[in-house]
Amino acid sequence: MAKIVVMGAGLGGVACAYEMKKKVGGGHQVTLVGSSPYFEFTPSNPGMLVGWRTAPQTRVGREKPLAAKDIAWVPRLVQAIDAQGSRLTLDDGTGLDYDYLVIATGPKLAFEEVPGLGPKGFTQSVCTHGHALQAWEQYQQFVQSPGPVVVGAAAGASCFGPAYETAMILDTDLRRRKIRDRVPMVFVTPEPYIGHMGLGGVGDSKGLMESEMRQRHITWITNAKITGVEDGVMTVAEHGEDGTVRKEHRLPFRYSMVIPAFKGVDPVAAVPELCNPRGFVLIDEHQRSKKFRNIFSAGVCVAIPPVEVTPVGTGAPKTGYMIESMVSAICENVAAELNGKPATARATWNAICLADFGDTGAAFVALPQIPPRNVTWAKQGKWVHVAKVAFEKYFLRKVKTGSVAPVYEKYVLSTIGIESLKQ
């Protein structure tokens, strides 16, 4: 009996545990390791910032659904990985052996790289449920005494969708409260242009997003590097195409939300030869570690080079369907090896993004994520807002029931050319 341990219990980890168990069957042990008793649907966090969603609405208890699928649940943090000895050390001092390890931890949030950034500094975050709840507490105080708002992402960020969503949702909520006219709003991003998304643009995302922001009276600074944050003031260096600083901005704010740069989590980054200098896991085309044959990885924690060089550093996003694609490849490959066959499955890395703007939204599809692409388009409409809310409910139900992608889901996606594995 093989011991398969999934480290990290977010979107990628939960999906991997369920799919792995289905693939390998009852003859092998699947264990999920994570610190929180709840699965939290982080794509809903921008809505939590303004009070549209609550924590109970966007989370599911883990223990019962996992037990129903015969998946062991270990509610602990991993302190260290002994990759040579195939053993994890947990935060209570106990050990956990594995034959295969899947690293799906998500990122470490590198707020410390910008002085004053983050919930312990002077800006808010929507990267975790806890952060979003704190942002909501601060927002309730803000609307009593509104003023300038700054939203955006720090240099090195690799997930821009939540920043755009936050700006648009704030605009929508402030208009509903009839105080939008008292809130000048600036969007700050390391992207070379609005709608770049860390993907080099998707279809006409530049024109679509610029138009949306103009209509909402949101100004922007691109090629921007946040250099420091004080109480009520953000310092931003705007760069030219040659990478030199062309202008320094001091932006006043009463409320701010900024996505930080990402790094690999400490116990993963500490393993020699497992990761790149930022702590992201180096993988081959089969999602396997380039150094350790029994370690696989999926999600934000894997090393993917930027799609292009930009004046200010931007990372490539690794979210949503792309993660599910990685997970499917890992499960296929582990199951193949357990059956004495070689690992051959490769993820498509197709990217699907539904950006909820509160009263409307934008959908982006990049097949594959990294150019050149077979399919690329961006569309806008109220249907995206409805679809995002529906997807939240749908995904939480999948977690509650312990189901992997149902047949109808795969059929719908395949009809528009979206597949999880390369043929």
Catalytic positions are 159, 353
Structure tokens of 210? 């610029």
Residue 171's contacts (CB-CB under 8 Å, 6 or more residues apart) are 180, 185, 216, 217, 218, 357, 358
Q: Please state, in angstroms and rounded to a whole number, the distance separating the CA atoms of residues 271 and 310.
A: 30
